[in-house]
Structure 1
Amino acid sequence: METSIFLATAQFWIIFMSLFGFFLLSYTYIRYKRDPVLWWGLALFSLFVSATAELMNLANIQVLSRALFGALILYGAIRLLEKEKILLSKHFRILSLVPIIVTTYVMFGKILGYSQEWFVVVGIPYAISGFAIALSGFFVFSLLIEAYGQKAKFLGVLLLAYGFYQMLYPFTRAISRLLPFTFVVSVFLIALAIYEMGKFALSREFITGNISVGKVRMKPGLFFIPPKKFEDLKESLSDFPVLAFVRSENLPETWKTFFVTSIHEHRSDIAFPTALPLMSAKVVQYLKEAEEKGTGGVVVFDCLEYLKMYNGFEAIAKFLSSLRDYALLYNGTIIVVLDEDAWDRKELITLQRIASSTEESLKFKNSK
């Protein structure tokens, strides 16, 4: 009786925390479009389903959703490594299918009557899911510390710890006197892992894609340049981690680029033309980070006419005016490629008033 009370209490806490984590990470994904958190959020929802199913004695749903939990955690970690250019091959994604494949295999064995043993039907899926979580923690801890520092270290350690704990669960679950301790450890590790996952997802490094900043000499403010000067700009800033919103290709590899398009595709390097607040948030975070590192950030917009088509001139003027203020506040530079033939005279006058000065005063000189 006491054991069942412990189990129910632990499951209720896991249900609450996993559902909270799911909504938190879903909000982060909707706002910042960084898709690793989408998969981690879905993983926490799978954990919610697994815990609920365990309370209701739905063993098949319990183990399948637990396997999906581990698979999605691993898939999210692999996607993050891809975004950081650490994993260049998409073949690593196949690893995330292992928990689902093994669990499905075991479930078919149960259905066909080959094994009804708890250790096989429940224990093996839990163990393989735990291994996937531990592997995710290893990836985060060993490969992302340079980019994310202590955030990656703490998250990686907790995923490793919880993954190993879940791998041992089939053994500790069978020892009745250890059950209260087992349930407490489970809740504690999940709570810390969800906390660190949320902190990681909301960190400036994660939201901006960890844009590192070097040294560059450039006047702070907002400046317009003609399209013919854009090639000179790319050459001058080819070694600098510029934040760019563009409609073109063949950009320097050091640039953090967002392709502005109305195509609804779930990619973290795409920005929708009507999502001006999201673009503004990315710019502000980037400029803040640049100033904290002792230099001015550089932001490039090579899509102004495209943005005008979707938002109208008044919204674009307000958008640029706000960015100019942020650039001056954080000693950054906003460079906008402007084709004067695409604007009428009144619009050009307004844009000139928004700008800090003419493009002739802007010098593209790296200080190496």
Structure 2
Amino acid sequence: MLEILNVAMRFFTWGFATYRWGKRREEFMLLLSIALWTDSLAALSQRQILSDLGWSPNPASLIALLPALAVFEAFFFVVASLFLLERLQTLRGQLLLLACAIAGPTYVLLAVLLSMSSTLTLAFPIPFLGVSLMFLGYSLIKEEMSLKTLSTLFPIGAFLLGVINLTYPVTIKTALAGYFYGLGAVFRAMMFIGMFKYAVWPIKPPKKFMTELRPGAFYTTDMKVFKILVQKMQSSGNGILITRNPLKGMKPRFPVFWVTRATSGQLDENIMAISPTDIGILIDLIKRYLRKGHSLVVIDCFEYLMIENGFENSLKFLLSLKDTTVKYDGTLITIIETSAYPKKHLAMLRRELEGLEL
């Protein structure tokens, strides 16, 4: 029964990934869908699963099939990961891809030509698959899936499943093998739930694009400007607000990050509470919305972040946010209270941010 559930979860996970690709036409989801389809076929190349399904193929015909599918699957996981990390255009990324393309198929071919045992034949492909799953999990958490949502179960499950695959040469002939198989089923269930959440409730792109704000990083001391910006974001559905004060009397049509210690996590469709010390996570979350087409980032709580993290760390956050926003041709606007800063700190902010004129 566990084997049948294993196969079903693989196919459903692939189905949700393909559904997401069909809706969004995201290149990395196409690569991930191909890898997950191969993963589903790999399940049907295992003798125990085929036996439970009532099939009894010649075991000799399966010896090369599973390792071949494993290296093919691992290759596409690596490609998807490099794409997410924007490393496909770099020399290191291309060399890594070349090494994977050469090493995997070459090992499988040599294993078949030298008539290696099934254990030796899988001694490289399965750990290779494990490393690729760990790489995928890391890449998705870093670039795409929030740690604060259910969708993060997919990369976490993939990473943990990769760890199990990595132990294959050592544990396959031990009493631990059965326990690891059960853990693998748990991690695949995590991947299934995470992909379901990610496919059905994706980050929404903005309804409209703003053309009146030029790209760059700006500051203003005028709260009237802040109210105008909020109105623009509400009417267009375009923009990301980082605030200390949740918007009252308004159901935002744009993502709002409420910086607070009172609570955390998703509070509403477009409102997420986040700790003021989680500024690294906040950068990653904002980056995901910028990648989806949002072009305006407004922050009205820099002084609060400065209290919680110190001026130096808060400035590093602001500069990282500036670089990220400009990279995607967006506009960063910071609302500041000049009386809250020593002259030296205020001069540093003005050196990095232009005065805003609407």
TM-score, with length taken from structure 2: 0.52
Q: Is the CA contact 2:208–2:237 (under 8 Å) kept in the aligned structure 1?
A: no
Equivalent position amino acid for 1:130 in 2: G
Residue 127 of structure 1 deviates from its aligned partner by: 0.7
Q: Secondary structure at the match of 1:148?
A: coil
Post-superposition Cα deviations, 1:109-160, rounded to whole Å, max 9, x if no partner, equal 12332x513332112110111111112222333x337x73434754443222
Instruction: Count how many residue pairs are aligned between Structure 1 and Structure 2.
Output: 225
Residue 192 of structure 1 deviates from its aligned partner by: 0.8
Equivalent position amino acid for 1:236 in 2: L
Q: Is the CA contact 1:14–1:48 (under 8 Å) kept in the aligned structure 2?
A: no
Q: What's the RMSD between the two structures over aligned residues? A: 3.9
* Whole-Å separation in 2 of the counterparts to 1:81 and 1:299: 19
Q: How does 1:285-324 map to 2 (within 5 A)?
A: 288-290=253-255, 292=270
Cα distance change of structure 1 residues 163 and 23 upon mapping to structure 2, 3 Å threshold: same
Q: Does the alignment pair 1:196 with 2:194?
A: yes
Post-superposition Cα deviations, 1:41-77, rounded to whole Å, max 9, x if no partner, equal 2111111111101135412121111222222222222
Cα distance change of structure 1 residues 16 and 366 upon mapping to structure 2, 3 Å threshold: farther
Q: Tell me the residue number matched to 1:119.
A: 119
Q: Does the alignment pair 1:236 with 2:213?
A: yes
Q: Tell me the residue number matched to 1:72.
A: 76
* Whole-Å separation in 2 of the counterparts to 1:285 and 1:222: 6
Q: Secondary structure at the match of 1:116?
A: coil
Q: Does the alignment pair 1:17 with 2:18?
A: no
* Whole-Å separation in 2 of the counterparts to 1:130 and 1:121: 15
Residue 32 of structure 1 deviates from its aligned partner by: 1.2
Equivalent position amino acid for 1:144 in 2: E
Q: Tell me the residue number matched to 1:26.
A: 18
* Whole-Å separation in 2 of the counterparts to 1:148 and 1:194: 16
Q: How does 1:123-272 map to 2 (within 5 A)?
A: 123-141=123-141, 143-144=142-143, 148-151=146-149, 154-175=153-174, 177-205=175-203, 208=205, 234=211, 236-239=213-216
Q: Is the CA contact 2:255–2:271 (under 8 Å) kept in the aligned structure 1?
A: yes
Gaps of 5+ in 1: 1-8, 212-220, 224-232, 241-282, 301-364
Residue 193 of structure 1 deviates from its aligned partner by: 1.8
| Deviates further, 19-28 or 66-75 | 66-75
Equivalent position amino acid for 2:5 in 1: W
Residue 15 of structure 1 deviates from its aligned partner by: 1.8
Cα distance change of structure 1 residues 10 and 168 upon mapping to structure 2, 3 Å threshold: farther
Post-superposition Cα deviations, 1:82-125, rounded to whole Å, max 9, x if no partner, equal 3xxx8763752553554553231222212332x51333211211
Q: Is the CA contact 1:102–1:128 (under 8 Å) kept in the aligned structure 2?
A: no
* Whole-Å separation in 1 of the counterparts to 2:135 and 2:42: 21
Cα distance change of structure 1 residues 38 and 284 upon mapping to structure 2, 3 Å threshold: farther
Equivalent position amino acid for 1:62 in 2: L
Cα distance change of structure 1 residues 96 and 14 upon mapping to structure 2, 3 Å threshold: farther
Q: Secondary structure at the match of 1:288?
A: coil
Residue 179 of structure 1 deviates from its aligned partner by: 3.4
Equivalent position amino acid for 1:185 in 2: L
Equivalent position amino acid for 1:53 in 2: S
Q: Tell me the residue number matched to 1:101.
A: 102
Cα distance change of structure 1 residues 183 and 148 upon mapping to structure 2, 3 Å threshold: closer
* Whole-Å separation in 2 of the counterparts to 1:222 and 1:285: 6
Q: Does the alignment pair 1:61 with 2:65?
A: yes
Q: Tell me the residue number matched to 1:361.
A: none
* Whole-Å separation in 2 of the counterparts to 1:138 and 1:99: 18
Q: Which has the higher helix share?
A: 1
Q: Secondary structure at the match of 2:64?
A: helix
Residue 203 of structure 1 deviates from its aligned partner by: 4.1
Post-superposition Cα deviations, 1:235-263, rounded to whole Å, max 9, x if no partner, equal 633249xxxxxxxxxxxxxxxxxxxxxxx
Post-superposition Cα deviations, 1:251-292, rounded to whole Å, max 9, x if no partner, equal xxxxxxxxxxxxxxxxxxxxxxxxxxxxxxxx8798833474
Q: Is the CA contact 2:16–2:195 (under 8 Å) kept in the aligned structure 1?
A: no
Equivalent position amino acid for 1:105 in 2: T
* Whole-Å separation in 2 of the counterparts to 1:80 and 1:288: 27
Q: Is the CA contact 1:110–1:116 (under 8 Å) kept in the aligned structure 2?
A: yes
* Whole-Å separation in 1 of the counterparts to 2:113 and 2:208: 69
Q: Does the alignment pair 1:41 with 2:39?
A: no
Q: Is the CA contact 2:6–2:188 (under 8 Å) kept in the aligned structure 1?
A: yes
Q: How does 1:79-94 map to 2 (within 5 A)?
A: 79-82=83-86, 89=90, 92=93, 94=95
Residue 79 of structure 1 deviates from its aligned partner by: 1.8
* Whole-Å separation in 2 of the counterparts to 1:222 and 1:105: 50
